[in-house]
């Protein structure tokens, strides 16, 4: 497909926060996230030709050497933000990496969205990664819209697909549309609520371009066109479906208890309009944000926001880092001074960036739900809160106990300073966690997925001219340790110095050799809490 360099059509004009929708797409690799993203952007006029999302990814990858790793592995490590406007609604679509080794990044991105679209392959159903990401959404009560993709191919029976979602995820499902045949019998999609038959003016199963209002399933526009066996099945599905599943309940959806299900084919443009119109109409609009002491409401006058992601190397010409800030409240104006709460410092946000599908541009105004990029040289890190002066921390951004631990091996001991700086920087970006053992000087790094280690090696080589390797350690997980009584904690740490390390914020962790040991030590030390996650503040 050709790439047309289009002017970004979207302008985040003065649309109030209530009409802003910030969401992400979650899926197992290959279910169709990229294709759906692209089609949503096309429908919002944010890009003008299919193929651009992938092409943009390739251009970006080509720009920077360390991203070779992405290319080699065929995965996207970076996430980004795509903003577009349609029918008076501003959509902020936050991209997430597909590979599970980068799931920490995805978890944090999910802290910055108000809703998620879960894409499922009609033939494969719910796969491992979808389930994992779904659990994160559930923890945060994020409303989920389900998109059963690839109905232009042979897939499972629609009722079976609905039952699987309901049972596997323990969620009420409500079908919003039905496929009209699948695979070689595919004719389109039936919107049973609005009585619309969405089909192609071309051959059977061709790309969606026609909406036919019908009087019902006995309308001759359907019966005369669609195979009888397909009509029979559709009629049965609609009848059974309306008895077996509850009606759409907006409240239940917003609370994360019910998922509306759309059947579609991202490749052939079915289901895109339905999903986007649904989000526009039913929301949610930006939610309130949990913080220390209170919740921050989007309607508050004062500006606040938090960093959910830090990305280096967006522009290799400048060794800058961009902190992605989700605004929680107030109307942000360019040039504003905001308080960096952790550092207790004012920072002037003179060159905030807005992200469009095609390019970045300077933001003048932003509203709750929007994401702005703040270029910086390392002052801002994941979890930081920005306010107009209030000492408040946004909560709910966890660091996860690493599942892979390695000791860092440095080839050239003269470069210990660069290595440490590099690792500290990458830890601030949230790519790795670093642990400094109480005994010994070699740092231990922790990650959730091993591919993160490859990225660390490559980036230290490229950006810090430092060659490192990793050695196995006897530990395989870490837990943050806490106790109500400081003295008890101190005694415990002293008695266990061999297994204790400090994280980058000097918070103590206990390094364990096995899951069995976690249980054993926890049972023997009832006054100590061993935590799998830690709030980043």
Q: Which is nearer to ligand GDP, 153 or 282 (CB)?
A: 153
Applying CB under 6 A, which part among 25-33, 126-134, 356-364, 459-467 lies near ligand GDP? 25-33
Tell me how far, at minimum, the Cβ of 38 lies from ligand GDP, in Å. Answer: 8
Burial bucket for residue 288 (CB in 10 Å: 0-12, 13-18, 19+): middle
Report residue 422: phi and psi, to 5°.
-60, -50
Rg (CA), the chain: 25
Applying CB under 6 A, which part among 147-155, 188-196, 353-361, 515-523 lies near ligand GDP? 147-155
Question: Token pair 């392959």 is at which residue?
Answer: 121
Q: Extract the tokens encoding 312.
A: 């280096």
With CB under 6 A as the contact rule, the residue among 22, 35, 237, 477 that binds ligand GDP is 35
Does the annotation flag 16 for ligand binding? no
Q: Is the Cβ–Cβ distance between 503 and 434 less than 8 Å?
A: yes
Does the annotation flag 34 for ligand binding? yes
Q: Which is nearer to ligand GDP, 153 or 529 (CB)?
A: 153
Angle between the N-to-C axes of helices 272-282 and 33-43, in degrees from 0 to 180, rounded to the nearest 10? 70
CA distance 7 to 358: 8
Query: Which residues of 287-330 form beta strands (DSSP E)?
Result: 289-290, 295-296, 304-312, 321-329
Q: Is the Cβ–Cβ distance between 306 and 350 less than 8 Å?
A: no
Does the annotation flag 216 for ligand binding? no
Q: Is the Cβ–Cβ distance between 516 and 529 less than 8 Å?
A: no
Question: Token pair 């490590």 is at which residue?
Answer: 77
With CB under 6 A as the contact rule, the residue among 26, 42, 266, 404 that binds ligand GDP is 266
With CB under 6 A as the contact rule, the residue among 21, 33, 415, 534 that binds ligand GDP is 33
Does the annotation flag 157 for ligand binding? no
With CB under 6 A as the contact rule, the residue among 32, 44, 305, 430 that binds ligand GDP is 32
Burial bucket for residue 439 (CB in 10 Å: 0-12, 13-18, 19+): exposed
Applying CB under 6 A, which part among 150-158, 223-231, 392-400, 508-516 lies near ligand GDP? 150-158
Q: Extract the tokens encoding 18.
A: 């209530």
CA distance 182 to 157: 9
Does the annotation flag 340 for ligand binding? no
Tell me how far, at minimum, the Cβ of 63 lies from ligand GDP, in Å. Answer: 21
With CB under 6 A as the contact rule, the residue among 27, 83, 304, 313 that binds ligand GDP is 27
Q: Which is nearer to ligand GDP, 113 or 404 (CB)?
A: 113
Tell me how far, at minimum, the Cβ of 181 lies from ligand GDP, in Å. Answer: 14
- Closest alpha carbon to 41 in 277, 358, 309: 358
Residues in contact with ligand GDP, counted by CB under 6 A, come to a total of: 16
Tell me how far, at minimum, the Cβ of 214 lies from ligand GDP, in Å. Answer: 24
Q: Which is nearer to ligand GDP, 51 or 299 (CB)?
A: 51
Q: Which is nearer to ligand GDP, 27 or 285 (CB)?
A: 27
Residue 61 in contact with ligand GDP, rule: CB under 6 A = no
Q: Extract the tokens encoding 526.
A: 């009832």
Q: Which is nearer to ligand GDP, 30 or 527 (CB)?
A: 30
Does the annotation flag 350 for ligand binding? no
With CB under 6 A as the contact rule, the residue among 31, 161, 481, 511 that binds ligand GDP is 31
Does the annotation flag 286 for ligand binding? no
Binding mask 96-135 for ligand GDP (x = CB under 6 A): --x-------------------------------------
Q: Extract the tokens encoding 102.
A: 């980068």
Report strand pairing: 20-27 vs 115-121: parallel
Tell me how far, at minimum, the Cβ of 130 lies from ligand GDP, in Å. Answer: 10
Does the annotation flag 152 for ligand binding? no
Q: What is the full DSSP assignment across 189-247?
A: EEETTTTEEEE-SSSTT----EEEE-SSTT-HHHHTTS-HHHHHHHHHHHHHHHHHSPP
Question: Token pair 């559709």 is at which residue?
Answer: 234
Does the annotation flag 32 for ligand binding? yes
Q: How many residues does this entry show for the chain?
A: 537
Q: Which residues are at the interface with ligand GDP (CB under 6 A)?
A: 27, 29-35, 98, 149-150, 152-153, 265-267
Q: Which residues are annotated as a binding site?
A: 27-34, 95-99
Q: Which residues are annotated as a binding site for GTP?
A: 27-34, 95-99
């Amino acid at each position: 497909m050709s790439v047309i360099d289009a002017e970004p059509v979207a302008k985040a004009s003065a649309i109030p926060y209530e009409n802003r929708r910030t969401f992400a797409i979650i899926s197992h690799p290959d279910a169709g996230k990229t294709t759906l993203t692209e089609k949503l952007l096309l429908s919002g006029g944010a890009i003008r030709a299919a193929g651009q999302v992938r092409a943009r990814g390739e251009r970006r990858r080509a720009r920077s050497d360390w991203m070779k790793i992405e290319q080699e592995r065929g995965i996207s490590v970076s996430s980004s933000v795509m903003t577009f406007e349609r029918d008076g609604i501003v959509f902020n679509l936050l991209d997430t990496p597909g590979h599970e080794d980068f799931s920490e990044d995805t978890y944090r991105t999910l802290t910055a969205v108000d809703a998620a679209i879960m894409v499922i392959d009609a033939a494969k159903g719910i796969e491992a990664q979808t389930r994992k990401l779904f659990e994160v959404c559930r923890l945060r009560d994020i409303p989920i819209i389900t998109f059963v993709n690839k109905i232009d191919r042979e897939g499972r029976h629609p009722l079976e697909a609905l039952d699987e979602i309901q049972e596997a995820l323990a969620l009420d499902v409500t079908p919003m549309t039905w496929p009209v045949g699948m695979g070689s019998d595919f004719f389109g999609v039936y919107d049973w609520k609005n009585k619309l038959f969405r089909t192609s003016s071309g051959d059977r199963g061709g790309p969606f371009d026609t909406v036919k209002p019908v009087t019902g399933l006995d309308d001759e526009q359907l019966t005369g066109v669609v195979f009888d066996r397909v009509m029979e099945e559709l009629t049965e599905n609609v009848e059974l479906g309306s008895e077996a599943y509850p009606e759409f309940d907006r409240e239940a959806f917003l609370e994360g208890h019910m998922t509306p299900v759309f059947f579609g084919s991202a490749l052939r443009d079915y289901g895109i309009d339905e999903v986007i119109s649904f989000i526009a109409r039913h929301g949610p609009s930006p939610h309130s944000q949990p913080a220390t002491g209170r919740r921050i409401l989007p309607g508050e006058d004062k500006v606040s926001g938090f960093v959910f992601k830090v990305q280096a190397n967006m522009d290799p010409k400048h060794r800058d880092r961009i902190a992605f800030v989700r605004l929680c409240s107030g109307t942000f104006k360019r040039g504003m001074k905001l308080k960096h709460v952790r550092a207790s410092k004012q920072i002037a946000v003179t060159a905030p960036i807005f992200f469009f599908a095609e390019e970045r541009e300077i933001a003048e105004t932003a509203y709750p739900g929007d994401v702005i990029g703040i270029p910086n040289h390392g002052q801002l890190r994941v979890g930081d809160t920005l306010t107009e002066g209030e000492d408040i921390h946004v909560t709910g951004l966890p660091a996860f106990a690493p599942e892979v631990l390695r000791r860092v091996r440095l080839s050239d001991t003269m470069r210990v300073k660069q290595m440490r700086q590099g690792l500290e920087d990458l830890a601030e970006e949230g790519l790795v966690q670093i642990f400094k053992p109480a005994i010994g000087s070699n740092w231990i790094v922790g990650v959730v997925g091993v591919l993160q280690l490859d990225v660390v090696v490559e980036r230290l080589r490229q950006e810090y001219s430092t060659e490192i390797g990793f050695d196995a350690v006897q530990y395989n997980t870490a837990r943050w340790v806490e106790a109500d009584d400081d003295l008890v904690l101190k005694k415990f740490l002293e008695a266990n110095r061999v297994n204790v390390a400090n994280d980058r914020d000097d918070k103590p962790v206990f390094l364990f050799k096995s899951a069995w040991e976690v249980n054993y030590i926890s049972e023997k030390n009832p006054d100590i809490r061993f935590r799998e996650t830690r709030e980043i503040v």
